[in-house]
Structure 1
Amino acid sequence: MLLCGPTFQDTASAQPGIPSAASAGEATAPWDQRANPTAVEADAWFDNYLFRDGETLPRLRIHYATLGTPHRNAHGAVDNAVLVLHWTGADSRTLLSPTYTKALFDRGRPLDANRYYLIFPDNVGHGQSSKPSDGLRAKFPNYDYGDIVDLQHKLVTETLGIEHLHAILGMSMGGMNAWQWAETYPDMMDGVMPVVSLPITVSGRNLLWRRMVIDAIRSDPDWKSGEYTQTPRGWVQGFGVLRMMIDSAPALQQEIPDGAAASKFLATVRFQAERVDANDILYSLKSSFDYDPEPGLSRIRAKLFALNFSDDEFNPDTLRVLERLVPTLQHGRYLVQQGTPSSPGHFTMTRPDLWARHVGEFMQWLGDAPSQASLGDIWPIPVSAGS
């Protein structure tokens, strides 16, 4: 759930709103010599924003990127928009890295940006959106997953003027937000694909690791009630334990065969942790405590395809949550992809090359013709409920 994304350098400035076809599609991404669209970044501003707990922020920014060109139907409505949602500690730049672009968004891939209008928000508390580390620190308003989804909805409907989404794809926290979208706005999308997330309240191991990281930060004398001047050691040390839980045991066994490899791994972990502001991550982890979509699953009307990985220790398949709940949906399907010695457990979400084919299957289920890269490479999606 926590990963510092690579720096995204191929951006263009833009004003809020849907970019023109020219601004969205003329440049060529450096990792592909073909004329793929280039991303356009912008900021949406909301004055005197009221959070669900009653706190307000005089001026709230949601940074976002778009990739591709909006297509309008005969009624003038955009009909090819896909919302792509990041995980805890990530942002739009993470998802616009070459790793994701090559697997998902390039020409002929399942979410080909020449075909779809892709929207990548930085959630509140993340990336270049408003967050505690901007200056308010521990005085920043408390937000929860409901607020995150509210702001995503305002971005889509008010800033971009889009009334209906073709699809939503979300990973980890983004997958949890996708479940919330499906039941909060049941008629606003054709399909939803949550990846490595479960439609149950944050509990068990998933709750414990969050509480442990929060406690490690708050109990550290260096934290100083959020007014620290250097990264609290409790966060850096806690992140090491967290990374050990995130990665699968076979992947770690392969990656760390000796002491030298262990030292390299721990140095990388420390580097990653020091790039993340402790207040930002503390707020983000606390925001998940309101998440509990299970009571509202009957409201979901869109097609929903849930993808998990068998070696994900955060959302263990042994709980049989998807097996129990997805069949209750009107149009629900799920797949638990088997792990391999090289698949990194929960972090398999950061290897879209390992699961992009299932995104292609999902888009075909929505009625889209298969992309060129998917021809002859499609597995039938296991059906666990009505289609």
Structure 2
Amino acid sequence: MADYEIFELGDYVLQCGKTLRKAKLAFKTFGTLNAAKDNAIVYPTWYSGQHTENEWLIEPGKALDPDKYFIIIPNMFGNGLSSSPSNTPAPWDGPRFPNVTAYDNVVAQHRLVTEHFGIETLVLVTGWSMGALQTYHWGALYPDMVPRILPFQGSAKCSRHNFVFLEGAKAALQADAAFAEGWYTSPPNKGLRAFGRVYAGWGLSQTFYRIEADLTHMGYASLEDFLVGFWEGLFYTRDANDLLAMLWTWQNGDIGANPVFKGDTKAALAAIRAKAILMPASTDLYFPPEDNRIEAESMPNAELRVIETWWGHFAGGPGTSPDDIATLDAALKELLAS
């Protein structure tokens, strides 16, 4: 049995001008919504991840405590649970699945929160990586509803350098002849495994590899064991078109690129009135601290707090670095107490 629920969005018109018919938003909740409906936290998913891969941060005694808060994890479009290339019927299946933006995701999530649960005010929005992208959008689009945000290891807009990294991963996947321009009849396993190997050089820092943390901290027997077991293993079970749909969302992520802010990224950042802690990782190769530092300059109530770590992007999850998790959890507790 599925451990999640489905919110039916109906025919959902996207920014790209196409309609996602009978659109579905998959979600899971933890804890109990109180009578006042004022104890809810939204915690969106990340690139390729599903709600189960967010759960490591939710635990009694931690900041995201289900004994205190009602925690909603909405699954991104394209992740295989919400409407995605792999579960949408023809003619919008596979490579014909329409382009979905972060704005499209967050507006749908807002409908879930307000229409399904009747929630008018949130306690916090937080998320890792693409979850951080969605967190920024929540703050900008619904400033009266969101008093606190903590985006970690992510940015409000995809940088040009980040875009180029993703082009490399995409090209590796699409180079597999079995990919067949997205009309594959069986998984393009060579491309999926190549996709994981491209990611391996970006997800973790140079220092991580220099000190052989794959062996000493993650329990692999050799570098090749790590590349196959962790990185190929992370992606080869995912649907290729799902990965590419979410990759498009990532590459086109921009908090200002929507009807509200009409392309003005700085105005969108300035609209975030929430008390914000921006938490990049010092060695993140996707989202270096400089990107968040620039964003914080345009935000009226933001603090930049860099996590000093050699874990790179994976300082943020999913549950790989205990010391960095403790630092993140302490910041979340501080923000929630403010």
Please state if 1:364 is matched with 2:334: yes
Picking from 43, 50, 58, the partner of 1:91 is 50
Task: Please list the CA deviations of residues 57-95 of structure 1 after superposition, one character each: whole Å capped at 9, or x if unmatched.
Answer: 22111111100011233xxxx111000112101011111
Please name the residue that 1:279 is paired with: 241
For residues 365 and 267 of structure 1, do their structure 2 counterparts lie closer, same or farther at Cα, with a shift above 3 Å needed? Answer: closer
Please state if 1:108 is matched with 2:61: yes
Unaligned runs of 5+ in 2: 256-264
Task: Please list the CA deviations of residues 28-47 of structure 1 after superposition, one character each: whole Å capped at 9, or x if unmatched.
Answer: xxxxxxxxxxxxx3111122
Please state if 1:169 is matched with 2:117: no
* Deviation of 1:279 (Å): 0.4
* Deviation of 1:209 (Å): 1.4
Structure 2-normalised TM-score? 0.86
Give the secondary-structure state (helix, strand or coil) at the position aligned to 2:86: helix
Give the secondary-structure state (helix, strand or coil) at the position aligned to 2:279: strand
For residues 266 and 361 of structure 1, do their structure 2 counterparts lie closer, same or farther at Cα, with a shift above 3 Å needed? Answer: closer
CA distance in 1, matches of 2:337, 2:224: 49
For residues 222 and 189 of structure 1, do their structure 2 counterparts lie closer, same or farther at Cα, with a shift above 3 Å needed? Answer: same
* Deviation of 1:366 (Å): 4.2
Indicate if the aligned counterparts of 2:170 and 2:195 stay in contact, CA closer than 8 A: no
Please state if 1:267 is matched with 2:228: yes
Give the secondary-structure state (helix, strand or coil) at the position aligned to 2:280: strand
Please state if 1:60 is matched with 2:23: yes
Picking from 232, 236, 249, the partner of 2:206 is 249
Give the secondary-structure state (helix, strand or coil) at the position aligned to 1:132: coil
In structure 2, what residue type is equivalent to 1:133? S
In structure 2, what residue type is equivalent to 1:248? S
Give the secondary-structure state (helix, strand or coil) at the position aligned to 2:154: coil
For residues 223 and 355 of structure 1, do their structure 2 counterparts lie closer, same or farther at Cα, with a shift above 3 Å needed? Answer: same
CA distance in 2, matches of 1:322, 1:271: 30
CA distance in 2, matches of 1:243, 1:207: 16
Indicate if the aligned counterparts of 1:92 and 1:127 stay in contact, CA closer than 8 A: no
Query: Kindly, what percent of the aligned residue pairs are identical?
Result: 27
Indicate if the aligned counterparts of 2:62 and 2:329 stay in contact, CA closer than 8 A: no
Please state if 1:224 is matched with 2:180: yes
Indicate if the aligned counterparts of 2:200 and 2:227 stay in contact, CA closer than 8 A: no
In structure 1, what residue type is equivalent to 2:187? T
Provide the aligned length of Structure 1 versus Structure 2. 315
CA distance in 2, matches of 1:289, 1:299: 22
CA distance in 2, matches of 1:206, 1:157: 33
CA distance in 1, matches of 2:298, 2:96: 42
Please name the residue that 1:313 is paired with: 285
Task: Please list the CA deviations of residues 83-116 of structure 1 after superposition, one character each: whole Å capped at 9, or x if unmatched.
Answer: 01121010111112xxx1xxx4322211211000
In structure 2, what residue type is equivalent to 1:299? A
Alignment of 1:174-213 (within 5 A): 174-199=131-156, 201-213=157-169
CA distance in 2, matches of 1:44, 1:288: 23
In structure 2, what residue type is equivalent to 1:196? Q
Please name the residue that 2:304 is paired with: 334
CA distance in 2, matches of 1:124, 1:257: 35
Unaligned runs of 5+ in 1: 1-8, 13-40, 369-387
In structure 2, what residue type is equivalent to 1:169? T
Give the secondary-structure state (helix, strand or coil) at the position aligned to 2:185: coil
In structure 1, what residue type is equivalent to 2:44? L
Please state if 1:349 is matched with 2:316: yes
Give the secondary-structure state (helix, strand or coil) at the position aligned to 1:63: strand
CA distance in 2, matches of 1:68, 1:322: 31
In structure 2, what residue type is equivalent to 1:81? A
Q: Greater CA deviation, 212-221 or 292-301?
A: 212-221
CA distance in 2, matches of 1:196, 1:84: 14
Indicate if the aligned counterparts of 1:123 and 1:152 stay in contact, CA closer than 8 A: no
* Deviation of 1:257 (Å): 6.6
CA distance in 1, matches of 2:99, 2:295: 31
Structure 1-normalised TM-score? 0.76
Task: Please list the CA deviations of residues 314-358 of structure 1 after superposition, one character each: whole Å capped at 9, or x if unmatched.
Answer: 1123xx233333143221112111114xxx210111136323444
Q: Greater CA deviation, 212-221 or 178-187?
A: 212-221
Q: CA RMSD in A?
A: 2.3
For residues 360 and 260 of structure 1, do their structure 2 counterparts lie closer, same or farther at Cα, with a shift above 3 Å needed? Answer: closer
CA distance in 1, matches of 2:15, 2:312: 34
In structure 1, what residue type is equivalent to 2:111? K
Alignment of 1:116-195 (within 5 A): 116-134=69-87, 135=89, 136-195=93-152
* Deviation of 1:217 (Å): 3.0
* Deviation of 1:228 (Å): 0.7
Please name the residue that 2:294 is paired with: 324
CA distance in 1, matches of 2:327, 2:67: 18
Indicate if the aligned counterparts of 2:128 and 2:153 stay in contact, CA closer than 8 A: yes
Picking from 21, 42, 46, the partner of 2:9 is 46
Indicate if the aligned counterparts of 1:146 and 1:290 stay in contact, CA closer than 8 A: no
For residues 107 and 219 of structure 1, do their structure 2 counterparts lie closer, same or farther at Cα, with a shift above 3 Å needed? Answer: closer
